[in-house]
Structure 1
Amino acid sequence: MTASESGKRVQCPICLEFFTWREDELYKRVVDDSGARWVKADLSGINNPVKRKDRRARCYVKCPNPSKENREHFLPVSHRDHGDPIVIGLVGRHESGKTHLLTAMIHEALRGDLRHHGLTFEPADELRHAAFQREIEQLMRGNKLQSTKELKEDFATYLLVRTAAGKTRPIVFFDVAGEDFVQSGQHSLGGQFVLGASALMFVDHPDGAVPALRGTQEMNSNPAFSGALERMGRREDMKSLPVAVVLTKADELRYEHPVDHWIRRDDLREALDAEVFRAESRDVYAFLDRYEARPMLDVFERFHRSTLHVVSATGAEANDDNLFPRGVRPARVLRPLLALLSMCGLVDHPQAMEVGT
């Protein structure tokens, strides 16, 4: 951290307020008999630069919380080390599969499954990622995860992505309850991340997205989508945001064309090709249009750069005991993330800027 960087104004991804970044007071999280709490970290006595760098990397800066709307919150020092973070938020109704998708996606990203596209990932926030890692381990052991709690103001995890061109950028992921966009309306703190997001994933499952496929006549609506879009309407740059629209739990549609084709296709090792993204978007659009899945199509059409995907985070439905007896078998969960990072300019390939067009 240079002296010039330690005076910059930054935006907090949690409260969305701007403040001057200062490192004269650093904090660390300690746990003892009285519980967990934040205490000031004193690095003044460390004169070994390598040791100091290591200790600093484990510290946090307290957001002054200018609006006083949020609870006390802290950001990792890496928030200013690698440029402005890319904030990716998942929007979807209750039980849409957001949490399983995000967990499977981060698991595969961290184990290096996007290295063929020059992208490697590592945790940039030890505390938050430790909690998220427990979710990953639960899912990989075949346990169904609990739905996201309402009014969750904090982000899910904070990663650092390194590109083949030598760039590094922090990536913040938000996964909040769909009800935050419905029950609490425009005053929800949990859903306000859309006001500062760099890119978004709109997520829905077959029962909600294409009820006509099940032979039901219920009205096809998605209050989480409409609530998020209404709130985002306050942003002048809304239509230019990169967006991936994702049909989750596609294993339930494994015999439906064209879902059957795309859900079985393993193309992560292939060179980036914008036409493949267009082909999947075109096919999924036709499928959704056939069953009048207007909420998903409306989102896709509303933004200048957007893609459509089919994914399966688990490969099968959980049983009555909330278990996946045969384990989980994610399919295509990294394609939406690859699309968004391409649209955000992080993929070093001439085709990257054509993705979503």
Structure 2
Amino acid sequence: MSETDTAPTGVRCPVCLSRVVLDHGELWLWKDGEHRKLDVPSDATPEQRRRLLLHAQVRCPNHVGEFPEHHLPYQYVSADSDPVVIALVGAPRSGKTHLLAAMIGSIQNQGLEQFDLSVSPLDVRGYEQFTNTKVRPLLDRDEMLARTSQDVWDFEVGLMVSDLGRPSSPPRAVAFFDVSGEVLATTGTASEQAFLDTVDGFLFVFSPDDMEDDRPDNTFATVLDMVGGKQDKAAVLVMGKADLYRFEHPVDRWLRDGVRAPDPGRVEAETGDLYAFISQYDKGETYLRPWREFGRAAIHVASATGGNRYPDRKRYERPVRPQRALQPFLTLMAATGVLGTPGARKVGR
């Protein structure tokens, strides 16, 4: 058997593209501001072992050394099926951070069993950090969220997602990364740009403010020009802050439609309606470009907050009430193969 016929072992690190192989003798735990070696006692009960491993991390070999030392969640490396990498792309004012926070909060509040999915944290520490710094401030305290990082991309939150309709199918690790197109265009290195090759699904977020601007943002174009193999990837376009158009057809119709299990006919109908609506504003075809270039694509409307913020304060005028924040997530799970029902396999095609 030739080397090219041998399947690679381990999983591909989304940070540096190295192959990471699980070694239970080399596990790490983040404690007191540093990574410390984790030793799982040989006499630990199955429940004790499971609890320890939920917090464990695996150090990436970082073969080329282009990035600082980094670690991956244990479940990302140990899962029996390939992880799914999701990239959030959008201009700073698109509301993508708020949308992701509303999405995770909606999962926490509503669950996904009605959609034949089960979700748990990929990494307990990271999940709790995202909840405490993003989800709870937005949903409980009606606060605006600020992006503080100036990195090309950041890991935001990870989930373990199970398809309840396929009990024999192992859970999939799903990792969400926030991609900064504006930083990528100016300071991104070739190795940082290579991250885009690891992405399975893209969440392109834009707002009415973006569409109505006489000078369209170039974030989408920057990312799209660097992504290869788009026909093998999935993309969901989301018109965020759709409450600003809540009295305009067809936005009003789809906002009222609520969250539905991924149905190819319904997704196609919404995509067609919104494509026609967005085309009225998107004269340069900036925001519709992903729909044309990806093998599987859909368009949704959603609102992370359901209302406006105070002009001079970093809070919202009314209690935050997300609208359809879960719909893009469900469509992505279908389009990336995490949800494997017969109907889901046709979504976005």
TM-score under structure 1 normalisation? 0.87
Shift of 1:45: 4.7
1:181 aligns with 2:184: yes
| 1:268-283 alignment runs, 5 A limit | 268=260, 272-283=262-273
- Could you give the per-residue CA deviations for residues 30-64 of structure 1, whole angstroms, max 9, x where no partner exists? 11xxxx11111122453434423332332111111
Separation in 2 of the partners of 1:18 and 1:313? 36
- Unpaired stretches in structure 1, ≥5 consecutive residues: 1-6, 212-217
- Could you give the per-residue CA deviations for residues 64-83 of structure 1, whole angstroms, max 9, x where no partner exists? 11121222211121112342
Alignment match, 2:16: 15
The answer to whether the Cα contact below 8 Å between 2:230 and 2:293 also exists between their aligned partners in 1 is no
| 1:299-318 alignment runs, 5 A limit | 299-318=290-309
Shift of 1:314: 0.5
1:258 aligns with 2:250: yes
Separation in 1 of the partners of 2:238 and 2:11? 31
| 1:135-174 alignment runs, 5 A limit | 135-140=134-139, 141-147=141-147, 149-151=149-151, 153-164=153-164, 165-166=166-167, 167=169, 168-174=171-177
Alignment match, 1:51: 48
Separation in 1 of the partners of 2:45 and 2:295? 50
- Unpaired stretches in structure 2, ≥5 consecutive residues: 1-7
Q: Which residue of 192, 196, 199 corresponds with 1:197?
A: 199
Separation in 2 of the partners of 1:246 and 1:133? 22
More displaced 10-residue stretch of structure 1: 283-292 or 10-19: 10-19
Separation in 2 of the partners of 1:176 and 1:61? 23
| 1:218-257 alignment runs, 5 A limit | 218-220=214-216, 222-232=217-227, 235=228, 237-257=229-249
Q: Which residue of 88, 96, 106 corresponds with 1:90?
A: 88
CA 1:83–1:24 in 2, change beyond 3 Å: closer, same or farther? same
Alignment match, 2:63: 66
The answer to whether the Cα contact below 8 Å between 1:182 and 1:223 also exists between their aligned partners in 2 is no
* Secondary structure in 1 matching 2:299: strand
The answer to whether the Cα contact below 8 Å between 1:112 and 1:120 also exists between their aligned partners in 2 is no
Shift of 1:152: 5.3
Amino acid of the structure 1 residue aligned with 2:95? G
- Could you give the per-residue CA deviations for residues 256-285 of structure 1, whole angstroms, max 9, x where no partner exists? 2211111122143xx542111011100100
Separation in 2 of the partners of 1:159 and 1:267? 20
More displaced 10-residue stretch of structure 1: 47-56 or 79-88: 47-56
The answer to whether the Cα contact below 8 Å between 1:312 and 1:333 also exists between their aligned partners in 2 is yes
Separation in 2 of the partners of 1:119 and 1:333? 16
Percent sequence identity over matched residues?
A: 33
Separation in 2 of the partners of 1:266 and 1:49? 41
CA 1:188–1:246 in 2, change beyond 3 Å: closer, same or farther? farther
The answer to whether the Cα contact below 8 Å between 2:153 and 2:178 also exists between their aligned partners in 1 is no
| 1:109-148 alignment runs, 5 A limit | 109-134=107-132, 135-140=134-139, 141-147=141-147
Separation in 2 of the partners of 1:29 and 1:326? 38
* Secondary structure in 1 matching 2:186: coil
Amino acid of the structure 1 residue aligned with 2:51? D
TM-score under structure 2 normalisation? 0.89
* Secondary structure in 2 matching 1:149: coil
The answer to whether the Cα contact below 8 Å between 2:270 and 2:300 also exists between their aligned partners in 1 is yes
CA 1:228–1:172 in 2, change beyond 3 Å: closer, same or farther? same
The answer to whether the Cα contact below 8 Å between 2:95 and 2:205 also exists between their aligned partners in 1 is yes
Separation in 2 of the partners of 1:304 and 1:81? 26
Separation in 2 of the partners of 1:120 and 1:72? 32
Number of equivalences: 334
Amino acid of the structure 2 residue aligned with 1:10? V
Amino acid of the structure 2 residue aligned with 1:264? R
